[in-house]
Homo-oligomer: A and B are copies of this chain.
């Protein structure tokens, strides 16, 4: 599967189908897909870009949902916990999951210039890291795999590429 995010696609459909799958997952797992949570996912889905918690908060506040940080952080925690969104540790920012519903170990290509993010679809057995962990007797609970760099669009825009 090609990494989503750097190439053209039917984004309206991308958004709709992700929301639908999130909705279905919540029904199936008895999770509450509340107004704030749903709106937060919509905000993240608007673009394949990472948004800071305070960016999300600003939008929520403008729309009349709580104006204090915990509102955004709780919604983001819910979304990441449910697998609907991921945190980009290298940016302290959050992004909607591009492979919602598929079992995957998220890995990202992160443009440090424009903050657009492509989510690659990697197998859950994580290559060298998995081997090293097994050898050391280490129990992996979560993996952070991010390539920070410059995306194709930004490379083209650079005078001295």
A152 is an interface residue with CB less than 8 A from chain B: yes
The one of B89, B109, B139 in contact with A150, judged by C-beta atoms closer than 8 angstroms, is B139
Distance (whole angstroms) from the CB of A126 to the closest CB of chain B: 7
| Shortest beta-carbon distance from A3 to chain B in Å | 5
CB pair A144–B149 under 8 Å, yes or no, is no
A114 within 8 A of B: no
Residues of B within 8 A of A128 (CB): 107, 120, 122-123, 127
Residue of A129, A135, A152 with highest tally of chain B CB at under 10 A:
A129
A142: Cβ under 8 A from any B Cβ: yes
Assembly CA distance A140 to B129 (angstroms): 19
> Is A133's CB under 8 angstroms from B147's CB?
yes
Cross-chain contact A138 with B149 (CB below 8 angstroms): yes
Residues of chain B within 8 A of A139, CB atoms compared: 149-150, 155
* Complex alpha-carbon distance, A89 and B137, angstroms: 22
Interface residues on A, range: 35 or more
A141 on the B face (CB < 8 A)? yes
- How many angstroms between the C-alpha atoms of A122 and B126 in the bound complex? 12
Q: Which residues of chain A from 63 to 85 have a CB within 8 Å of any chain B CB?
A: none
A160 an interface residue at 8 Å Cβ cutoff? no
Report if A143 contacts B (CB, 8 A): yes
Tell which of B112, B138, B144, B151 touches A145, judged by Cβ atoms closer than 8 Å: B144
What would be 14 A-B contacts, judged by CB atoms less than 8 Å apart? A3-B132, A3-B135, A6-B137, A7-B136, A89-B89, A89-B90, A118-B132, A118-B136, A120-B132, A133-B147, A141-B148, A141-B150, A142-B149, A143-B148
